[in-house]
Amino acid sequence: MSGADDKGRAHRGLVFKLLLFVAGSFAFGFALVPLYDVLCSITGLGNQKSLTRAVAQGTEAVNRTRTVTIDFMTNLPTVGNWEFRPVTKSLQVHPGQLYEADFFAHNLTGHDTTAQAVPDIVPSKAAAWFHKTECFCFSPQSFKRGEQRVMPVRFFVDADIPAYVDHLTLAYTFYDVPNRGGNTG
């Protein structure tokens, strides 16, 4: 009996240590979040400055000597029944300044549904200098049956955009997302 007791004590001691180990691992998973930043700042890896540069430029340096023409277009795929068109057809913008353009969508599918807009920028090489800060294309859009609404996209053109790019087209295609019908809440 005392042998069984000894064994029980040994088991409990080890189980306790292992549970501490498990709790430590769980905490370590969360500690990785700040540790990651600490490691980057100590070693200088992963330069945060260059990652935030684009946004900073947008608010600081507006180039009023240049204008770039942005045309807005819409496409509908062959499936799905929508009215979808740009409210703003075209804008003359100064690089570095924030603008907003609106798009209109009307659900003609006859039921509640969800759709996803997919953007396309022409010429595609210029996409690197076109920054959207807020867009209806960032998340699926839920529509009640027959619902219509205007949706905004906010953007700025990078001040560094090469001089030979003076005309951009932003086009959206509006897709019905299958199997999302019940998830409109």
Partner 1 sequence: MANTEHAAAAHDDHDHKPHGFWGRWLTTTNHKDIGTLYLVFSCVMFFLGGSFAMAIRAELFKPGLQFLDPALFNTLTTMHALIMIFGAVMPAFVGLANWLIPMQIGAPDMALPRMNNFSFWILPFAFTLLLATLFVPGGGPAGGWTMYPPLVLQTGSALPLMIFAIHLMGASSIMGSINVIVTIMNLRAPGMTLLRMPLFVWTWLITAYLLIAVMPVLAGAVTMLLTDHFFGTSFFNAAGGGDPVMFQHIFWFFGHPEVYIMILPAFGIVSEIIPTFSRKPLFGYDAMVYATASIAFLSFIVWAHHMFTVGMPLASELFFMLSTMLIAIPTGVKVFNWSTTMWKGSLSFEPPMLWAIAFLFLFSIGGFSGLMLAIAPADFQYQDTYFVVAHFHYVLVPGAVFAIMGAVYYWLPKWTGHMYDMKLAKWHFWLSTIFVNVLFFPQHFLGLAGMPRRIPDYATQFADWNMVSSIGGFGFGLSQLLFPLLIWQCVRGGAKATDRVWEGAHGLEWELPSPAPYHSWTEAPSLAVLEHGAPSHDTHG
Applying CB under 8 A, the residues found at the interface with partner 1 are: 1, 4-5, 7-12, 14-15, 18-19, 21-23, 25-26, 28-30, 32-33, 36, 43, 45-47, 139-140, 178-183
Q: Which of 130, 125, 128, 64 is nearest to 101 (CA)?
A: 130
Tokens of 106: 């009307």
Q: Which is nearer to partner 1, 67 or 116 (CB)?
A: 116
Q: Which is nearer to partner 1, 23 or 150 (CB)?
A: 23
Answer for the pair 87, 102: CB distance below 8 angstroms, yes or no: yes
Q: Provide, rounded to whole angstroms, the least separation between the CB of residue 2 and partner 1.
A: 11
Q: Which of 139, 147, 143 is nearest to 184 (CA)?
A: 143
3-class SS at 70? strand
Q: Provide, rounded to whole angstroms, the least separation between the CB of residue 183 and partner 1.
A: 4
Q: Provide, rounded to whole angstroms, the least separation between the CB of residue 23 and partner 1.
A: 8
Q: Which is nearer to partner 1, 100 or 166 (CB)?
A: 100
Q: Provide, rounded to whole angstroms, the least separation between the CB of residue 7 and partner 1.
A: 7
Q: Which of 103, 118, 107 is nearest to 82 (CA)?
A: 107
Cis peptide before 152 (omega within 30 of 0): no
Q: Which is nearer to partner 1, 119 or 181 (CB)?
A: 181
